[in-house]
Amino acid sequence: MPPQLFDLDLLARRRARAAAAPGGPADFLHAVAADEIADRLAEVNRSFRSPAVISPRGDVWADRLRAAGAPAARVVPDAETLDLAPGAHDLVVHGLALHWANDPVGQLVQSRRALAPDGLFLGALFGAGSLAELRAALGEAEVAETGGLSPRVAPMGEIRDLGSLLQRAGFAMPVADSLRADARYPDALALMRDLRAMGETNVMRSRLARPTPARVFARAAAIYRERFGAPDGRVRASFEIVVLTGWAPGAGQPKPLRPGSAAARLADALGVAERGLGESADPGRRDD
């Protein structure tokens, strides 16, 4: 069983609290990511007939997919076991939830199995560049005020590592890239309130069990403003959204050549003489 890094019951309660708040949850980052996915779908020369969306804010994502010309998507929650039938969909979108998965490879494998042959998977999740400013400010403030350091911002994957998850899950033609979304807040405390309104606060099982002294947050806010303040007096918060693209294997897809199967030598194509490993291009030169 994969390590249980996150308390998913607590995550569900915090998402429910955010949804029940006056005005509903703060979902602007879901809108940004969903718009990016919709733009990419518009560039795919294919009509999708049976899309599925995996997301805690599936309504936001389904609306964006419809705007891109896709039919109404089946929306399912990002539970550990996804409510998806094998081969039932030609498009699966995982919307800004994979960063909370205790078993992200398992989520990707289930998504691939839900695709028909040559079906498309698109996923969006927060990457390692997200909340770097908050992570630094909280860490320095906690050390200064308490002499210790506890996990406060969840670890998020590097783009190269996240791309390798697609290969492990069995997707063909895997691609990972990212976009950056910056936000501005009056101060770090306003950012933390917004994270609460998103349902994106700390649910790591290793989080500090006792309440944090208020002086830690006050010092973190001062550090944040000093280091990451904008000329207008506000502070910036960085979010890296990694987009994962992969295809369910299909008969008509291009495949890499087998080693040694090339029909022509690279030396012939370049018009140069072929040399053995370690052999100099200049016969009179010695590589001592």
Integer Cα distance of 66 and 264 in angstroms: 47
Strands 172-185 and 235-247: antiparallel
Closest CA relative to residue 36, chosen from 124, 114, 108, 148? 124
pLDDT tier at 156, thresholds 50, 70, 90: very high
CA dihedral sign, ordered 29, 35, 178, 253: positive
Integer Cα distance of 216 and 274 in angstroms: 65
Question: What is the per-residue pLDDT for 275?
Answer: 47
Question: What is the per-residue pLDDT for 273?
Answer: 54
Contact 241, 33 (CB under 8 A): yes
Q: Which structure tokens are listed for 81?
A: 């076991």
pTM of the model: 0.86
Integer Cα distance of 27 and 25 in angstroms: 6
CA dihedral sign, ordered 205, 211, 214, 215: negative
Question: What is the per-residue pLDDT for 282?
Answer: 46
Mean pLDDT for 78-97 is: 97
Integer Cα distance of 152 and 172 in angstroms: 36
pLDDT tier at 105, thresholds 50, 70, 90: very high
pLDDT tens profile 166-197: 999 999 999 999 999 999 999 999 999 999 99
pLDDT tens profile 116-125: 999 999 999 9
CA dihedral sign, ordered 126, 129, 133, 136: positive
Rounded-to-10 torsion of CA 132, 80, 52, 173: 70
Q: What is the mean pLDDT of the chain?
A: 89
> Which one has a higher pLDDT value, 268 or 120?
120
Q: Which structure tokens are listed for 32?
A: 């940004």
Contacts 24+ apart (CB under 8 A), 193-198: 194/26, 196/14, 196/17, 196/18, 197/18, 197/21, 197/25, 197/26, 198/18, 198/25, 198/26, 198/27, 198/29
Integer Cα distance of 113 and 242 in angstroms: 22
